[in-house]
Amino acid sequence: MGMTITEKILAYHAGKERVEPGELINCRLDVVLANDITAPVAITEFEKLGLNEVFDREKVVLVPDHFTPNKDIKSAEQARYVREFARKYGIINYFEIGRMGIEHCLLPQEGLVLPGDLVIGADSHTCTYGALGAFATGVGSTDMAAGMATGEAWFKVPETIKFVYYGKMPRWLSGKDLILYTIGDIGVDGARYMAMEFTGEAIRELSMDNRFTMANMAIEAGGKNGIIEPDEITLAYVKQRAKRPYRLFQSDPDARYAEVREYNVSRLEPQVAFPHLPENTRPVSEAQGITIDQVVIGSCTNGRLEDLQIAAGIMKGKKVHPEIRVIVIPGTQEIYLEALRQGLVEVFIEAGAAVSTPTCGPCLGGHMGILAKGEKALATTNRNFVGRMGHPESEVYLASPAVAAASAVLGRIAAPWEVIK
C-alpha cells in the first residue's frame, strides 16, 4: 500500500519507513513560527523550562505582524517582549517593522519554508505552506514553546481527503473561489483532524499565489493541513529563493484516501461566503446587490502580488463608490514595493482607496479598518465569524480579490464582469 504526500513527509521527519493514519509519532521540525500575539505566551512558557538556548537559532522564526505597527501601548509592550527575546536568544529570523510582512506571505517569499519541510506555527493559517509541498500546521503557544526547546513535536498521522479539480478555469475564477466552494461543500468541520490534498488539472494550472490561498484556508474546513504536490510551478518559485536543500515528495498512485471528492471547475462562478461562517458560500450572482460599507483587499489569504494585480486591473481608471471605503494591504514589504513599481499602488490611490503597510490588521478585528455596529464588509480575508472585524453586530462577506475590486467600484457586492465587460 502506498502513502500520501502528507504521510511521506511525516514519516521522513519521524525517521520511519512508513506511517499509518492514527499513529502517534514524534517529528523533527524544520521551522517553528510565532507572531506578536502568540509568541509572548510561548516565550513565557519557554522560560519556565529554564533553558539557555533555543534548539536552532535559524529555525525559530518570529514575525510581529498582527498588531503592528503597534496600535497601542499594550500591543507595543507585547512586541517589545518578542523583540527582546529575539535579541537575548540570537534569533536570526526575527523580522522588524519595515522589513517584514504578514507571516504566511513572508516565509515562502524569503525561502524559509521549502518543499518537504515540516513546519509548526503558532497561528492557525500556518497551513498555507502546504502549497509548496510541505507539511505545515497550526499549533498553540505551548507547542511552540516545546518546539523552540526541543525542535520536535508530536503528531497524530491524519487521514487524507483528496480533492480533485478538473476542467478549465473560467476567466474570473481563482484559488479563493475553489477553496470557498470546497468549504461550502464539506462544511467548517468537513476535514476535521484530516489532511486536505488538492490535485487535478485545474490545480496544476494554478499560480503559486493562488495555491497559497487554497492551502491557507484548509483550517477553515477543520483541516490539519492543506497540501499540493510540488511541480514545475513550485520549483520555479522555490529555486530563486531557497538557500538550503529541499525534498520533493509525491503521493503514490496506490495511496489510501479516506475520501475522494471531485469538482468540475469549468462552470463554477466566483464564490461569496455569507456571514457568519466560511461554509455559507453562494455563487456571486446570488450575492449581487448586497450593499456594503467597506472592502478589504489583503491578508495572509489574498495579500500577494497577483491578488493586487487582479484588483488593480479591475479598479484602473475607476473610482471607489462614494458611499464606501476601501483598504488595500500588501502582504509584505517586497510585495508593496513591487506593487509600487508596477503602478498598482497608484491605481488604488487614484481610485480613492487607502493603502496600508503590511499587517494582519482588520482581518482579526485588530486595527486598520474596524467595523462599527451594523456595518458590512466584503473582504478577501479568511474568517467571517461574528464580530471578527469589529462590532459583534457587524458582518463580513468573504470573496476573491476580483469580486472585492468590482464591489469596491459599484458599492455593493458585484461580479467582476459587471465592471470589466
Partner 1 sequence: MEFKGIAHKFGDDVNTDYIISGRYKFKTLDMKELARHVMEDLDPDFYSKVNKGDFIVAGKNFGCGSSREQAPLAILNADISAVLAKSFARIFYRNCINTGLALIECDTDQINEGDELEVDVEKGVIRNLTQQRDIPVKPLPRFMLKILSDGGLVEHFKKHGTFNFD
Instruction: Point out which residues bind partner 1 (CB under 8 A).
Output: 24, 26, 37-38, 40-41, 44-45, 48-50, 66-67, 74-75, 78, 121-124, 126, 138-143, 145-146, 149-150, 152, 154, 188-189, 192-193, 219, 222, 224, 277, 364-366, 383, 385-388, 392
**Shortest separation between residue 362's beta carbon and partner 1, angstroms:** 11
**Shortest separation between residue 44's beta carbon and partner 1, angstroms:** 7
Burial class of 80 by CB neighbour count within 10 A (0 to 12, 13 to 18, 19+): middle
Cα-based torsion angle of the residue sequence 158, 164, 165, 167 in order, rounded to the nearest 10 degrees: 170
Give the nearer residue to partner 1 in terms of CB position, either 91 or 122: 122
Give the nearer residue to partner 1 in terms of CB position, either 149 or 420: 149
Burial class of 210 by CB neighbour count within 10 A (0 to 12, 13 to 18, 19+): buried
**Shortest separation between residue 139's beta carbon and partner 1, angstroms:** 6
Question: CB under 8 Å to 132, separation ≥6 — which residues?
Answer: 108, 113, 114, 115, 117, 228, 230, 234, 237, 238
Give CA separation, 219 vs 19, 55, 383, in Å: 23, 28, 10
Give the nearer residue to partner 1 in terms of CB position, either 81 or 417: 81
**Shortest separation between residue 240's beta carbon and partner 1, angstroms:** 30
**Shortest separation between residue 255's beta carbon and partner 1, angstroms:** 21
DSSP line for 244-306: S--------TTB--SEEEEEE-TTPPPEEEPTT-TT-EEEGGGTTT-B-SEEEE-HHHH-SHH
Give the nearer residue to partner 1 in terms of CB position, either 188 or 311: 188
**Shortest separation between residue 220's beta carbon and partner 1, angstroms:** 8
Give the nearer residue to partner 1 in terms of CB position, either 143 or 307: 143
Give the nearer residue to partner 1 in terms of CB position, either 113 or 265: 113
- Given a contact cutoff of 8 angstroms between Cβ atoms, the answer to whether 148 and 244 are in contact is no
